Homo-oligomer: A and B are copies of this chain.
Amino acid sequence: MKRYTKAWLDEVLVSLFMEAGASREVSETTSRILIEGDLLGHHTHGIKLANGYLRDLKSGHASGDHTAMTSKEISSIATLVDGHYILGPYLVQKALERSAAAARESGIGIVSIKRSHHIACLASYLQPFVEQGLMPIIMTSDPAVKSVAPFGGLSPVYTPNPIAMGIPSRVQPIMMDVSMSTVTNGSVGKAHAEKKKMAHPVILTNTGVASDDPADFFSDPQGSILPLGGQEFGHKGFAMGLMVEALTSALGGFGRKDEPSGWGASVTVMVIDPALFAGTDAFLDETDHLVNACLSASPVDQQHPVRMPGQAGLSRREEYLDQGIPLPNDVVAELQKAIDDSSLKNAK
């Protein structure tokens, strides 16, 4: 697999976004967040998305104009943002920065964003805030998509609704990014395109049978993705999915009732500053203790010691920054398509 430097990818992506009409601010943040996805190994939610973002910028569904963002300042620590479908990475980054500033003043900050365009990989945003000793939290739902059914039901109603969070620790930071469904829409689509089975029976057919065949999701009537907890404990994943719906679309006042279409997201971010609660040392002493206890737990399989959330991604990131980022063929093909549609075609 050919490896690409971060600097080269960033130059290409920023050029592409700017040529498609995005401002430098939006282009640079979006490029950085997409590359970060690949650096952490989440190739389905990295550079591969650029082509679709460019398509939406050109069609006008996505905006690259950061001045279009409007905000309602609820208080010094809470803001409601109308994203006007600006590329999500710009909106989420700004929301996290605003929340971080509030957290440093008051302990916590919260920003809810309605009408964001797609926000890429949630894990990609966390590290810079964790390195400042903060706890960033990101939640999102996509009101234009129905893929997960309520527990006990067949009809898909909502989305996988991931929660991501960064937790500082001196031993190693914890960076989690997990959906409240068994698997993501993306993984079902990927398996279907590649005519592969899912690793587990995570699809509920339209007659209520668990299946590992992604074709059972794309049936008519549509199947659904089982909530986290599956057929036994899916009431828990269902509840958590509703929590994310309420904290994103409902809080922003724009969601499924408005029947939006195309790439979009409702997002709520919070940042908490532990320094203002019990203090940095007491906080880190506790997270260090927790991380050490987990890492030193006897493993189920001697060949596979316990890993903390984010651990594999962070070590991959270090290697990729040093050795270059190995991009899978499908990612390279998407990037090449984007380049071929631009003035870079002749330059490169």
* Contact surface of A with B, Cβ cutoff 8 Å: 74-78, 80, 105-108, 110, 112, 114, 135, 149-155, 157-158, 163, 165, 167, 174, 176-179, 182, 199-200, 204, 208, 228-230, 232-233, 235-240, 242-243, 245-247, 249-257, 270, 272, 274, 276-279, 282-283, 285-290, 293-294, 296-301, 304-309
| A-B CB contact pairs (8 Å), 6 listed | A77-B108, A167-B250, A177-B239, A182-B233, A200-B233, A250-B283
User: Is the CB–CB distance between B107 and A77 below 8 Å?
Assistant: yes
A246 near B174: Cβ-Cβ < 8 Å = yes
Our pick among B74, B151, B286 for the contact of A253 (Cβ within 8 Å) is B286
CB of A283 within 8 A of CB of B253, answer yes
Copies of this chain present in the complex amount to 2
Name the residue of chain B whose CB is nearest to the CB of A199.
B232
Cβ B163 vs Cβ A240 within 8 A = yes
In angstroms, Cα B154 to Cα A277, docked, is 33
CA distance A23 to B268 in the complex (A): 41
- Bound complex: CA of A106 vs CA of B107, how far in Å? 13
For A209, the closest partner residue in chain B by CB is B300
CB distance from A279 to the nearest CB of B (A): 6
A286–B158 alpha-carbon span in the complex (Å): 12
Nearest B-chain residue to A143, judged by Cβ:
B286
Asked if A306 and B153 make an inter-chain contact with CB atoms under 8 angstroms apart, the answer reads: yes
Q: Which residue from chain B places its CB closest to the CB of A248 in the assembled complex?
A: B286
- Contact B232–A237 (Cβ < 8 Å): no
Contact B106 A76 (CB under 8 A): yes
CA distance A89 to B157 in the complex (A): 36
Please name all residues of chain B whose beta carbon is closer than 8 Å to the beta carbon of A300 when the two chains form the complex. 152-154, 204, 208
Q: Which residue of B lies closest to A146 (CB)?
A: B293
User: In the complex, A225→B194 CA distance in Å?
Assistant: 36
Complex CA gap A256/B289 in Å reads 7
- Once A152-B300, A251-B274 are accepted as A-B contacts, the answer to whether A228 and B233 lie under 8 Å apart by CB is yes
Of the candidates B114, B176, B250, the one whose C-beta lies within 8 Å of that of A287 is B250
